[in-house]
Chain A
């Protein structure tokens, strides 16, 4: 029998503030995305309107590092990465 092993990437997505209300979820596992951009596309498919929620601004971290200082939406994802997504927020 022929067995094909596909390397599937699983990432843990953590959502915060209004995004919890929007999706009804705090944490979810998503398989497949190879970049942050692909992850957002996937989230948009699962929760239509998700990207619009981020239009006014957002903070996206991969393992605690802001993607602004990585490769932006092209930041690659690998197995077991944690992606935290916040709507715009401030305080002090």
Chain B
């Protein structure tokens, strides 16, 4: 087998048993790897109804067949598990170097099962696997933990994925961090790791990923790297300004969510844009493994010193969405979240919900006592509550449940801007309706990255579509984006490569590496299979389409109050039935037997 090793490591923390899970190439031909194989294992082995924070839930960390190769951005891995935030599947993706290192050690992934009696970490050096005591690391922030493990192992080469205090304290939106500031962020994967008493996974590898046709692979990789380097976005906008180059674009287009999505234009956008950051704080950009793009930011501040980030989403989460105009505080908040191991989008989204509850008078000074009031623009909120959330202290305990549960506890869930209880990222769907349909149908809830319709609707990739067009063409484009994203995740590459590469380019690299002669359609079929399998998992976990495939009331009923999208809502009701139909699902959003058979997943029905 090429690309993949055909081997997963299975570690049961309840029993301490370590096993090798081997699989045949046929399985890779069906699921490709990573996000694909992970959903296959979960459907096969686990009841989707399990308690996400119970020992029965499985946590899978898995790079793809192109991870650890010279393919551009081949350093990614996915964390796939049942989310404690949504109660559905989540596949959080991260860059850095950890994913590639796991491949160098000879593994396509780790399946973590059960729950350790006391805190532990897993140390992997090629075939050698140890479960080590981590009691002395429990409670430590991310940078301290990394440093301590590195010292203990006595190797600079070791790569570590780990949780901070937020994961230990089962914060519903705790992240798994790796290589300092890279995060598998969304939907509480860090809490699942914490529930297993697993502080970290440290890996060192010495192998080379086997490639079927080395010569051809080298040539095709070179060609794709050139494409990326010559692309004005992948080779210019992203390295120069980072993802926060979007701040002005999204704001000028009138869909930059401001004050918990009450409007789509923020008066101080420029001051916290990628342009402003580059001028004020940027030292250099920072690539992940084998990445010719290098969108990562290295900033320097007097308070926290040298730090990485923030990305576009984080800049927004702590800025416009809270009405905050203070770039230094935003960068500091991002740094804090990285140290505690918190997802920035959900942290900001939850604080925004608290602010609106406060504005509307449901959350009062009386309840908060001496703690800072949740007033729009109050930077104190960032510095004070982020730490409280991570340790579940005082009001932080309520916030740690996420925005939806917080708003619900005051009898007003409508103030949580979330889908399937996952906080939404930085695009108001009233300014990009296809993106809104994406939010409503995304398998992990309020997520942008697995169906980035902002590309066609706002940025013009692969071509420009009207953000308020809701024809079948739009719905079809969304389906292609969802399936293609699943494929790229399964391959082990970064979704930002889509700014320079098309579906055929992924086919070329995969065929050369794996030794297959698949067509582009064959690969997209794998993407479709993965998307459907995840949907099936969700349906079995209790997803009710008519209740869960929806958006916050604000987007359906409150027209955008100002700016270029003034007067618009999302016409979800007009799109959703056509989405189900074009997916080949039943009218009520379920997967019929014929579709499951066509995709070869009927065994899981």
Residues on A close to B: CB < 8 A? 14, 16-18, 20, 26, 56-57, 59, 61, 63-66, 68-69, 84, 86-92
**Which residue on chain A has the smallest CB distance to residue B253?**
A64
Question: What are 9 A-to-B residue pairs whose CB atoms are below 8 Å?
Answer: A16-B275, A26-B270, A64-B253, A64-B564, A89-B237, A90-B234, A90-B245, A90-B459, A91-B237
Known: A16-B275, A57-B460, A68-B460. A90 touches B240 (CB 8 A): no
Give the docked Cα–Cα distance between A56 and B119 (Å).
53
Q: Among the listed stretches B137-145, B184-192, B448-456, which one makes contact with chain A, having 4 or more residues with CB under 8 Å of it?
A: B448-456
Decide if B245 touches A91 in the complex (CB within 8 Å). Answer: yes
Decide if A91 touches B238 in the complex (CB within 8 Å). Answer: yes
Decide if A89 touches B252 in the complex (CB within 8 Å). Answer: no
Bitwise interface map of B from 485 to 509 toward A, beta carbon under 8 Å scored 1, else 0: 0000000000110010000000000
Known: A16-B275, A17-B237, A64-B563. A86 touches B495 (CB 8 A): no
Decide if B248 touches A59 in the complex (CB within 8 Å). Answer: no
Q: Does B72 contact A (CB under 8 A)?
A: no
**Which residue on chain B has the smallest CB distance to residue A57?**
B232
The one of B248, B254, B496 in contact with A86, judged by C-beta atoms closer than 8 angstroms, is B248
Bitwise interface map of B from 2 to 30 toward A, beta carbon under 8 Å scored 1, else 0: 00000000000000000000000000000
The one of B249, B449, B565 in contact with A16, judged by C-beta atoms closer than 8 angstroms, is B249
List A contacts of B237 (CB < 8 A): 17, 87-91
**Which residue on chain A has the smallest CB distance to residue B313?**
A92
The one of B311, B466, B499 in contact with A90, judged by C-beta atoms closer than 8 angstroms, is B499
Decide if B232 touches A91 in the complex (CB within 8 Å). Answer: no
A18 CB, nearest partner CB in chain B, Å? 7
Give the docked Cα–Cα distance between A90 and B270 (Å).
16
Decide if B254 touches A90 in the complex (CB within 8 Å). Answer: no
Decide if B466 touches A69 in the complex (CB within 8 Å). Answer: yes
List B contacts of A59 (CB < 8 A): 249, 458-460
Known: A17-B241, A61-B564, A86-B248. A92 touches B460 (CB 8 A): no
Decide if A88 touches B232 in the complex (CB within 8 Å). Answer: yes
B43 CB, nearest partner CB in chain A, Å? 28
The one of A20, A26, A88, A92 in contact with B236, judged by C-beta atoms closer than 8 angstroms, is A88
Mark out the residues of chain B between 224 and 247 whose CB falls within 8 Å of any chain A CB in the assembled complex.
232-234, 236-238, 240-246
List A contacts of B234 (CB < 8 A): 90
Decide if A90 touches B238 in the complex (CB within 8 Å). Answer: yes
The one of B252, B270, B275, B448 in contact with A92, judged by C-beta atoms closer than 8 angstroms, is B448
Bitwise interface map of B from 359 to 385 toward A, beta carbon under 8 Å scored 1, else 0: 000000000000000000000000000
Q: Does B312 contact A (CB under 8 A)?
A: yes
List A contacts of B254 (CB < 8 A): 64
**Which residue on chain B has the smallest CB distance to residue A69?**
B466
Bitwise interface map of B from 275 to 318 toward A, beta carbon under 8 Å scored 1, else 0: 10000000000000000000100000000000000011100000
Give the docked Cα–Cα distance between A16 and B240 (Å).
13
List B contacts of A91 (CB < 8 A): 237-238, 242-246, 295, 311-312, 496
List A contacts of B240 (CB < 8 A): 17-18
Give the docked Cα–Cα distance between A61 and B565 (Å).
13
The one of B270, B313, B448, B459 in contact with A89, judged by C-beta atoms closer than 8 angstroms, is B459
Known: A57-B232, A66-B464. A84 touches B252 (CB 8 A): yes
Give the docked Cα–Cα distance between A65 and B253 (Å).
7
Decide if A17 touches B245 in the complex (CB within 8 Å). Answer: yes
Decide if A87 touches B495 in the complex (CB within 8 Å). Answer: no
**Which residue on chain A has the smallest CB distance to residue B564?**
A64
B495 CB, nearest partner CB in chain A, Å? 7
